[in-house]
Amino acid sequence: MPMFGIELFKSGPKVLYDFAQHGIVTVTSLGIELAASYTTVGGTPMLAEAKTIKEEKDRLTPKRLFQLKALNDNNFVINTQKQYLEKQIALVKEKIKLLPEPKKRKLRQEPMMEFGAVKYGREELKSILERLYNRYKINNFKKELSKYPHTTSELISNVLKENKHLRCKCADEFVPDLPRAAIKVIKEYNNICKKVCNKTTNFYVIAKQEDFEKVQKRRDPILLAQSPFGHFWQILGAWDKEMVYLADL
């Protein structure tokens, strides 16, 4: 059917607020590099080299973490009780009211752009509010979402702190390497989000630090999606050169 007038200017669905845009953990690569530079013992580089080789073997790969279910929160429950949702929605709305109103331009009645903590605080609260409202529809999607285990930013943070060779970043950098199965599962998850709130979501990967720096090599990341029902995640799968571990594909 041909489109005319205003239909020409309608864009696709928007994206849910990225609650991890400011980082999940504060472990810096600089600190790791400084620690590694002091591994020489007694002025003998060979000892440091041997230690480095052993540490490399002991380091868990993202695929292995996925197999061990190290990120899975097995006790995770999404509260969808009406009384709970009404109480939390009212609380969030009260918090939004406490934030100062955006200043308006003198000659116009348009609000000025916000910056800093107030801006991000407002965005966070509005995002939480939106996701709480989305929970009223969750029963329509339980079957589709049940195959993906849940995890939290706290659990991801703990895993990354214990495995300092790993990083969690936006999946955009891995798009050129995505296998067909990963593309399929991303589309399926985004389709669910669009049905819930007419928005797509944000995808992240957990991978080795060097995998974010060198694209022309085998990489084995874990793929995560931000849930449309709260500030938590679902684990969509993991893959490497030999095998794909993605649910029910």
For residue range 58-97, list pLDDT tens digits in order: 578 888 888 888 898 988 999 999 999 999 999 999 999 9
Q: SS3 for 75?
A: coil
Quick check: is 228 in a domain? no
Domain end among 106, 139, 172: 139
| H-helix or E-strand spanning residue 38 | none
The pLDDT assigned to 249 comes to: 46
97 and 131 in one domain?
yes
> Pick the residue with more confidence: 47 or 201?
201
Q: SS3 for 170?
A: strand
- Determine the average pLDDT of the residues in 24-50: 34
Question: Looking at this protein, which amino acid is placed at residue 38?
Answer: Y
pLDDT for 189 beyond 90: yes
Quick check: is 209 in a domain? no
90 and 44 in one domain?
no
pLDDT for 52 beyond 90: no
Query: How far, in whole angstroms, is CA 12 from its chain's centroid?
Result: 21
Q: How many domains does the chain have?
A: 2
Residues with Cβ within 8 Å of residue 127, at least 6 apart in sequence: 16, 17, 19, 231
CB atoms inside a 10 Å sphere around CB 49: 12
Quick check: is 212 in a domain? no
Mean pLDDT estimate for the chain: 76
What are the b/e assignments for 98-113, b being 16+ CB within 10 Å?
eeeeeeeeeeeeeeee
Q: Which token pair is 172? A: 């955009």
pLDDT band at 224 (very low <50, low <70, confident <90, very high): very high
Calculate what percentage of the chain has a pLDDT beyond 70. Answer: 69
Quick check: is 39 in a domain? yes
- Determine the average pLDDT of the residues in 48-61: 50
Quick check: is 48 in a domain? yes
Domain end among 124, 139, 154: 139
Check residue 76 and give left, alpha or beta (phi > 0: left; psi -120 to 50: alpha). Answer: beta
pLDDT band at 188 (very low <50, low <70, confident <90, very high): very high
51 and 93 in one domain?
no
pLDDT in tens, 91-149: 999 999 998 876 665 555 555 555 567 788 889 999 999 999 999 999 999 999 998 99
Q: Which of 170, 168, 162, 123 is nearest to 25 (CA)?
A: 168
The parent domain of residue 104 ranges over 82-139
Residues with Cβ within 8 Å of residue 129, at least 6 apart in sequence: 89, 92, 93, 96
Quick check: is 53 in a domain? yes
Across-strand partners of 151? 233
Contact 141, 65 (CB under 8 A): no
The pLDDT assigned to 67 comes to: 82
Domain end among 119, 139, 159: 139
Quick check: is 175 in a domain? no
